[in-house]
Structure 1
Amino acid sequence: MIVVSDTGPVTNLLQIERLNLLKELFQKIVIPTGVFAELSHIPEQRLALEELDWVEVKEAPQSELFNKLLGSLDRGEAEAIALAVDSKAELLLIDERKGRDVAADLGVRKTGTLGILIRAKEKGLLSSVKPEMDKLIKETHFRIHSELYQGILKLVNEE
């Protein structure tokens, strides 16, 4: 399974000390060089990523699609979406709404940090999603609408 990630999910999971969920769920993820560069601005994140043998850094295609995406998205998002399309990835990990909308328009299957937490609970890797969402909100300033928060708790039977 080819899984490409944008910066957001990796950063968020690193900050709540749940990056291991990506390996447990997907065995390997691919990040474009632009995403690696964004993640590398924080030395601790760079060191953590360099030690992981299940994270592959790959050059995104400098295609017409990529150039078009650069007009409306940041470089990391544009590279992640272009790489997902080019590599026919089964899944794109992305949190930002604009990028998610563009990916959906291109027919790219996607999920974000919250979807990863839900999958992890479904696979028995987490006993509860609520404390992880609370950590995201408190420690990473992750924004989640209260209706979505409650909807996720209902979905995973934690209401």
Structure 2
Amino acid sequence: MAEIIISDTSCLIAYQRIDRLDILQKLFHEVIITEQVLSEFGYAVPEWIKVKSAPPPFGHSILETLDLGEASSISPALKTPGSILILDERKGRKVATDLGLEIIGSIRVLLLAKDKKIIPSVREMVDQLSEHKFRFSTHVVRQLLIEAGEA
């Protein structure tokens, strides 16, 4: 797994809602967000999250497809070899994949956290996220629980 993670806003919001931003710190050597993501997030971030200035990589055309946070997150990912980009929205994932970026979703991060014994249960975390109005594809959750041995 990569040492550097670049996160879009949705992951931060999800983990903030359940008071578990620490999962990212425990899993990755470096966590980067952009100023645009920080603005969308709307909360102060812990000092271990690095905030970088990053203009959207393709001018106005990418903003027609993606929101500002997603678009701005792609820029540092393109400039940081070996990094992984956390994106949950389908459109953003497609753009990032088409650009050859490695991506992961917020709930897949939970599987990594369980593997590293940072959390005891993926299901418990997914249930907490669901209680806080964070929505996931039923198929994705089912597959993740199978991989976690919790199906």
TM-score by length of 1: 0.87
- Equivalent positions of 1:70-85 (< 5 A) are 70-85=63-78
Instruction: Please state whether the residue corresponding to 1:3 is helix, strand or coil.
Output: strand
Q: Give unmatched runs, 5+ long, in structure 2.
A: none
Equivalent in the alignment of 2:100: 107
Give the gaps of 5 or more residues in structure 1: none
CA contact (8 A) 1:31 1:56 kept: yes
Q: Secondary structure at the match of 1:9?
A: helix
Structure 1 distance, partners of 2:120, 2:56, is 42
Please give the per-residue CA displacement for 1:69-95, whole angstroms capped at 9, x wherever unaligned.
222111111000122112335100111
Compute the displacement of 1:150 (Å).
1.9
Count of residues in correspondence between the two structures: 149
Question: Match of 1:32?
Answer: 34
* 109 and 39 in structure 1: CA distance in 2 versus 1, 3 angstrom threshold: same
User: Whole-Å Cα distance in 2 between the matches of residues 55 and 21 of structure 1?
Assistant: 12
Q: In the TM superposition, what is the alpha-carbon distance from 1:2 to its structure 2 partner?
A: 2.6
Q: 1:87 aligns with which of 68, 80, 84?
A: 80
The structural deviation recorded for 1:28 is: 2.1
Q: Superposition RMSD on alpha carbons, in Å?
A: 1.5
TM-score, normalising length from structure 2? Answer: 0.91
After TM superposition, list the pairs within 5 Å mapping 1:2-151 onto structure 2. Answer: 2-40=4-42, 45-46=43-44, 49=45, 52-61=46-55, 63=57, 65-139=58-132, 141-151=133-143
Distance 2:74 2:33 in 1: 10
Q: Equivalent residue of 1:126, what SS?
A: coil
In the TM superposition, residue 62 of structure 1 has moved relative to its aligned partner by: 5.2
Structure that is richer in helix per residue: 1
